[in-house]
Amino acid sequence: MALRPAVPLLAPSILSADFAKLGEALSMLEASGAEVVHVDVMDGRFVPNITLGMPVVAAMRKCTELPLDCHLMIVEPSRYALEFVEAGASWVSVHQEADPHIHRTLDSIRKAGAKAGVVLNPGTPVETLTDLFGDFDFVLLMSVNPGFGGQGFIPRVLDKVRRLDALRAERQTSFLIQVDGGVSLKNAPELVKAGADCLVAGNAVFKAPVPAAAIQGLQAAMRAARMTIA
Ligand code: DX5
Ligand code: ZN
């Protein structure tokens, strides 16, 4: 992932899908043109909620060709990161707040053949990443406190996206900026204009009357916003 994508990517979050019909949800995402599938892994310790683990990722891997983007909201993520790659994750992201040896974890994810990402909670400044530039493929900025879908977007994250985009340009380094939490048709254009390359959307897709139409609407808004800065 040396270069930023020509068009911004949409990563619907299956956390908001019906877990009894994951196969159908994945088929719908693929047919609708979603670029990435965001998979929220929660352990009940790093965050208050518990979701799914490697067996479910392996089962999803059999149902879709789309890249599976595993967002690990777990303590000691280095213990499990490679197991998620083995289960079929193409992207694996680890919270900086959860891993004192994140440099090593990112390196091991890359060596296993997946894209390595660092996640920052809303209260963690983007400047804490500067000594890791070059060692990750993407940064995931949380725009809610992680743990649940359907929360409200925290507006000051827009400034974090701008600051990270500026740091990326200043250091002439390339990585994707992903944003996760409360993404909607209302804020997606501003996020893309601020420098985001990949937006995660849970409720905005799966709670929409027609999820496929919501995907296409978000993608159209993101692409139009990108054109204004190209
Ligand atoms: C929150 C998760 C998000 C969540 C997003 O902890 O990391 O990926 O699924 O859902 P929405 O888009 O509904 O905020
Ligand atoms: Zn997530």
Model pLDDT, residue 132: 97
Q: Tokens standing for 186?
A: 């209302």
Q: What is the pLDDT of residues 128-176, one digit of tens each?
A: 999 999 999 999 999 999 999 999 999 999 999 999 999 999 999 999 9
Model pLDDT, residue 229: 85
Distance 205 CA to ligand 1 centre (A): 11
- The C-alpha atoms of residue 217 and residue 225 are separated, in whole angstroms, by 12
- The C-alpha atoms of residue 23 and residue 16 are separated, in whole angstroms, by 14
Model pLDDT, residue 117: 98
- Residue 172, classed as helix, strand or coil, is coil
**Ligand 1 atom nearest to CA at 145:** 6
Distance 180 CA to ligand 1 centre (A): 6
- The C-alpha atoms of residue 173 and residue 140 are separated, in whole angstroms, by 16
Residues with a catalytic annotation lie at 40, 180
SS3 of 64-86: the string is CCCCEEEEEECCCHHHCHHHHHH
Distance 90 CA to ligand 2 centre (A): 15
Decide whether any atom of ligand 1 lies within 6 Å of the 151 Cβ: yes
Decide whether any atom of ligand 1 lies within 6 Å of the 40 Cβ: yes
Q: What is the pLDDT of residues 67-115, one digit of tens each?
A: 999 999 999 999 999 999 999 999 999 999 999 999 999 999 999 999 9
Residue for token pair 């993404």: 183
Residue 1: pLDDT over 80: no
Q: What is the pLDDT of residues 172-199, one digit of tens each?
A: 999 999 999 999 999 999 999 999 999 9
**Ligand 1 atom nearest to CA at 13:** 9
Model pLDDT, residue 220: 98
Q: How confident is the model at residue 202 (pLDDT cuts 50, 70, 90)?
A: very high
Decide whether any atom of ligand 1 lies within 6 Å of the 8 Cβ: no
- Residue 40, classed as helix, strand or coil, is strand
Q: Hey, which residues does 13 pair with through a beta bridge?
A: 38
Q: What is the pLDDT of residues 21-37, one digit of tens each?
A: 999 999 999 999 999 99
Q: What is the pLDDT of residues 36-77, one digit of tens each?
A: 999 999 999 999 999 999 999 999 999 999 999 999 999 999
- Cα 28 to Cα 45, 58, 76, 185, distances in angstroms: 32, 18, 33, 19
Is the distance from CB of 199 to CB of 188 less than 8 angstroms? yes
Model pLDDT, residue 230: 64
Q: How confident is the model at residue 3 (pLDDT cuts 50, 70, 90)?
A: low
